[in-house]
Amino acid sequence: MGVVTDIAKSYRAPRAVLRHRLAGGDNEGSALVTLMLACGLIFVAQWPRLSRLAFETGQEVQMLMGATLLSWLFIMPLVFYVLAGIVAFVLRLLKTPATGFETRMALFWGLLCAAPLWLLWGLTAGFVGPGAATTAVGVLALAALIYFWGAMLSEVAHTPKKESRDV
């Protein structure tokens, strides 16, 4: 399945899509690509808001976009890796069958699935400006991230792994 198709299907069955994504085995490259794609989309979502901010305050839009680029494409991926590591550690203490890779993919795929709502938030912030509508869309986007991450984390935490036998 394609990424866009999987994102759309995740709104109906997030656990099944994550199982499909994990079926290919542990591929850290795919996890990193998923995270960078999500962070890249959220960075693009900031453009209308930053353009409005630059117009209203007289700041240079390039400076604002540069700072946002640094934060979303260099700093936030590290934050998400640390967050996924902490969750994996906690799940290991709770003796769940989830691996570190699965907990990372649950977070990264949840973030990518919520990215379209972050794009909507950016458009709302850019065209409507600060207010109730922007706050409501932001809360919806955050709630979607929490829902996707929770559902997918629940899937990896409760799915027993196949026993590997040494031959």
Distance CA 148, CA 17 (A): 11
pLDDT-based confidence at 131, cuts 50/70/90? very high
137: confidence class by pLDDT, cuts 50, 70, 90: very high
Q: Is the pLDDT of residue 165 over 60?
A: no
Residue 167 has pLDDT above 70, yes or no: no
So where are the chain's domains?
Answer: 27-158
Separation CA 49–CA 119 (nearest Å): 11
Residues 21-67 have pLDDT tens digits of: 888 788 888 899 999 999 999 999 999 999 999 999 899 999 999 99
